Amino acid sequence: MDLPTFDLTKSSCEEQVASARPDLVIHAAAYTDVDGAEHQPDLAMAVNAQGTEWVARGTTRAKARLIYISTDYVFDGLKKTPYLESDLANPLNQYGKSKLEGERRALDLCHDSLVVRTSWLYGAHGKNFVKTMMRLAIEQPELRVVVDQRGCPTNAADLAQSLAKMLTLDIRGIVHATGTGDCTWYELASAIVSAMGRQNPVHPITTAEAGRRAARPSYSVLANCVLKQSGITLPPWQYSLIRFVGEHGHDSQFKSSNAELDSIVTIDGAP
Ligand SMILES: NC(=O)c1ccc[n+]([C@@H]2O[C@H](COP(=O)([O-])OP(=O)(O)OC[C@H]3O[C@@H](n4cnc5c(N)ncnc54)[C@H](OP(=O)(O)O)[C@@H]3O)[C@@H](O)[C@H]2O)c1
């Protein structure tokens, strides 16, 4: 069935979800501009928290199951070991605060809800760090990339497969679902260049040098404890990255010169 267009800032979302009579709602839509959210905290909260509330209420009315996609940016990055599902969230920026509030509303308002926190997502569609680096490796002789933020790159297709497995199990509450292993943005960019068989020098820079508006956690590695207990693992990030570059390295969208390219996206990733 084709679905209507949803505007998460409108309360009519609740009725739209309820009347679609779904068995399952995977709520991945969000205000994801991390730096923009510092300018527009009310809009970020309206979409990510209030919008999630409408979706959760509609899902409950439909007696359906809800999966809410959330983020590693709910953590402050002060830990030195991977974050567990039970660790206290303490977001550093407005985006993280709005997503955390979305988590709370999903859990409070839909008894059959699952919050899935993922990180450093990339895939064939939309803007993401991996696609940007693949394009820049062709367009620019050298790259400058942030070295003092560490996280877990996650292939969207791997995440989707893990969601399908989660659905076969009776998991509720909060789970972490990321690619296995961790790295810095700099290490990720170097791996992309290498997987492309290119020689572009990649230069490490600091977060301070990058000069982004929103603060970001320096360490947001997630431990997939609940998934591990359920026998679900995502592939090592290096494996999925090499597969992705192999599958998409020849796509025109990764190669074409894009005048809108913002040099700032060369230095670290999206949410
Ligand atoms: N990207 C990451 O690294 C990352 C990491 C952790 C978690 N996440 C989470 O994963 C999910 C997907 O992220 P993504 O990077 O794929 O996001 P994205 O590319 O920015 O896509 C977000 C989607 O949300 C829709 N949207 C935004 N505002 C809306 C509104 N008011 N009403 C209805 N739809 C609206 C957008 O629609 P339009 O295209 O029409 O604007 C877009 O389709 C999000 O929940 C995000 O918080 C992402």
In a domain, 236, yes or no: yes
Indicate if ligand 1 lies below 6 Å from the C-beta of 171.
no
Burial bucket for residue 127 (CB in 10 Å: 0-12, 13-18, 19+): middle
Q: What is the mean pLDDT of residues 203-228?
A: 96
In a domain, 173, yes or no: yes
Taking only the tens place, the pLDDT of each residue in 128-142 is 999 999 999 999 999
Average pLDDT, the chain: 92
In a domain, 10, yes or no: no
In a domain, 51, yes or no: yes
Of the CA atoms within 13 Å of residue 252, those in its CB half-sphere come to: 0
- Looking at residue 253, its pLDDT comes to 56
Q: State how far the Cα of 89 lies from the Cα of 98, in Å rounded to an integer.
A: 12
Q: State how far the Cα of 32 lies from the Cα of 29, in Å rounded to an integer.
A: 9
Boundaries of domain holding 105 = 18-266
Å from CA of 47 to ligand 1 middle: 10
Count the helices and strands in the chain (H runs, E runs). 12, 10
Q: What is the mean pLDDT of residues 239-263?
A: 69
Asked whether the predicted pLDDT for residue 259 surpasses 70, the reply is: no
CA distances from residue 205 to 129, 138, 264 in whole angstroms, order as listed: 16, 20, 12
Asked whether the predicted pLDDT for residue 263 surpasses 90, the reply is: no
Instruction: Tell me which residue of 107, 133, 104, 103 sits closest to 118, measured CA to CA.
Output: 103
Query: Which carries the bigger pLDDT value, residue 25 or residue 271?
Result: 25
83 has catalytic annotation? no
In a domain, 129, yes or no: yes
Q: State how far the Cα of 229 lies from the Cα of 206, in Å rounded to an integer.
A: 36
Given 95, 122, 186, 219, which residue is catalytic?
95
Asked whether the predicted pLDDT for residue 257 surpasses 70, the reply is: no
Asked whether the predicted pLDDT for residue 218 surpasses 50, the reply is: yes
Percent of the chain topping pLDDT 90 = 88
Q: What is the mean pLDDT of residues 12-24?
A: 96
Å from CA of 229 to ligand 1 middle: 29
How many folded domains does the chain comprise? 1
Asked whether the predicted pLDDT for residue 68 surpasses 70, the reply is: yes
- Can you give the pTM of this predicted structure? 0.94
- Of 12-21, 55-64, 115-124, 256-265, least confident by mean pLDDT is 256-265
- Looking at residue 260, its pLDDT comes to 36
Ligand 1, pocket-test mutation among 95, 119, 121, 265, most atoms within 8 A of CB: 121
Q: ∠ CA 48-241-152 to the nearest 5 degrees?
A: 45
Amino acid at 127: K
Indicate if ligand 1 lies below 6 Å from the C-beta of 265.
no
The confidence band for 254, taking pLDDT boundaries of 50, 70 and 90, is low
- Looking at residue 265, its pLDDT comes to 40
Q: State how far the Cα of 41 lies from the Cα of 118, in Å rounded to an integer.
A: 22
Which CATH number do you get for residue 154? 3.40.50.720
In a domain, 168, yes or no: yes
In a domain, 233, yes or no: yes
CA distances from residue 195 to 143, 149, 155, 200, 235 in whole angstroms, order as listed: 15, 21, 15, 12, 17
Instruction: Tell me which residue of 60, 59, 85 sits closest to 72, measured CA to CA.
Output: 85
Asked whether the predicted pLDDT for residue 3 surpasses 90, the reply is: no
Which residue CA neighbors atom 23 of ligand 1 most closely?
A: 29
Å from CA of 232 to ligand 1 middle: 25
- Measured from the CA of 46, which atom of ligand 1 is nearest? 31
Biggest CA pair distance of the chain: 55
Which residue CA neighbors atom 33 of ligand 1 most closely?
A: 7
- Measured from the CA of 7, which atom of ligand 1 is nearest? 32
In a domain, 9, yes or no: no
Å from CA of 1 to ligand 1 middle: 22
